[in-house]
Amino acid sequence: MTFLNPTDSLRNLTSAMGKKEKFSYINVPKSSIVALSKNSENPFPANFAKNIISSLKNNDKRIMKAISHTLVSDIENGRHFKIGLNKNFEYYYSNVFEYFYLNNKDAYNSVIDFYIRNTPKVIVTLHDKKLAQRHFGFDTHIINIPYNNYHEKLDSVYAQLAEMEKEVDYCLLDCGVFGLALMTKMWDNLNMSIIDTGKTLSLSKAAFHNSTNER
C-alpha cells in the first residue's frame, strides 16, 4: 500500500481543489473501525454503521481516504479488507489540516485563503456559527449537529445539503465520524466536493481563547 506523508497529502489535495472535478478528502478515525467490530463495547446503530462501511468501500479514485499511521499495519495485513480498506490502494495522511495548523501555520493559512475562504461552501459542524465563519469566511453556510444523538441526524443533514447543492462547491466536515457516515449518500447524489477539516475549529477556538486570556 501507499501511505502519503503530510506534504504529499496536502499537495494532492490542493491539486484536486484546483480542478473543477468533484472530489472527497475524508478522515477514517481508528475509533470508527473499532466501533464497527463485532466485539465493540460501544457499537454504532446498524444504519449508521452501514453508511460508514459504504463510504469505506467506495474505491472511486477521486475519494482520498485519510488514515492514521496506527492503521497502516492492520491494512497491510488485510485485517480490514472486508470493510473496504484494501492494502492495494493509496491512503492519505489523517487530519492533514490539523497537522499543518500545528506545524506550519503559514502553509495552512495559504491553503484556507486561496482555496477555501472565497469558495462557496457549507460546513457541517459541532461548533457555533461565529467560530466557523470567523475561521472559514463569513459567507460560509452552517449546518449544526448535536454532540449527543448525532447518529439520528444523517437524513436531516443530507436533506439540508441537498437544498444547497446549487449554492456551494464545497462541503466542509467538522463532525468526526458523522462525516464518514454522511459521505456515501452525498457522494452518490450531490454535486459538491467533500473536505474533512478534522479538529481545526477546536484548535482555532483554543488558540483564540488563549490569545484573549493573554491580553
Contacts of 190 (CB under 8 A, 6+ apart): 161, 162, 165, 171
Alpha helices (runs of H) in the chain, residue ranges in sequence order: 6-17, 30-36, 46-57, 72-76, 96-103, 105-111, 129-136, 154-163, 177-189, 200-214
Q: What is the pLDDT of residue 21?
A: 93
Neighbours of 83 (CB within 10 A): 18
95: left (phi over 0), alpha (psi -120 to 50) or beta: left
Residue 38 pLDDT level (bands cut at 50, 70, 90): confident
Q: What is the pLDDT of residue 141?
A: 97
Residue 215 pLDDT level (bands cut at 50, 70, 90): very low
Residue 110 has pLDDT above 60, yes or no: yes
Residue 20 pLDDT level (bands cut at 50, 70, 90): confident
Q: Residues 110-114: what's their mean pLDDT?
A: 97
Q: What is the pLDDT of residue 208?
A: 56
3-state per-residue secondary structure call for 57-105 = HCCCCCEEEEECHHHHHHHHCCCCHHHCCCCCCEEEECCHHHHHHHHCH
Q: What is the pLDDT of residue 209?
A: 54
192 and 22 Cβ atoms separated by less than 8 Å = yes
CA-CA distance, 35 to 40, in Å (whole number)? 5
Give the closest residue to 66 by CA, choosing from 213, 212, 177. Answer: 177
Q: What is the tens place of the pLDDT at every residue in 172-208?
A: 999 999 999 999 999 999 999 999 999 999 998 887 5
Q: What is the pLDDT of residue 40?
A: 85
> What pTM was computed for the model?
0.94
User: 155, exposed or middle or buried, with CB in 10 Å at 0-12, 13-18, 19+?
Assistant: exposed
Q: What is the tens place of the pLDDT at every residue in 49-102?
A: 999 999 999 999 999 999 999 999 999 999 999 999 999 999 999 999 999 999
The torsion angle over the Cα atoms of residues 27, 69, 200 and 61, rounded to 10 degrees, is: -30
123 and 174 Cβ atoms separated by less than 8 Å = yes
62 and 190 Cβ atoms separated by less than 8 Å = no
Q: What is the pLDDT of residue 210?
A: 61
Q: Residues 10-30: what's their mean pLDDT?
A: 96
Mean of the per-residue pLDDT values for the chain? 93
Q: What is the pLDDT of residue 144?
A: 96
Q: What is the pLDDT of residue 37?
A: 86
Q: Residues 135-148: what's their mean pLDDT?
A: 94
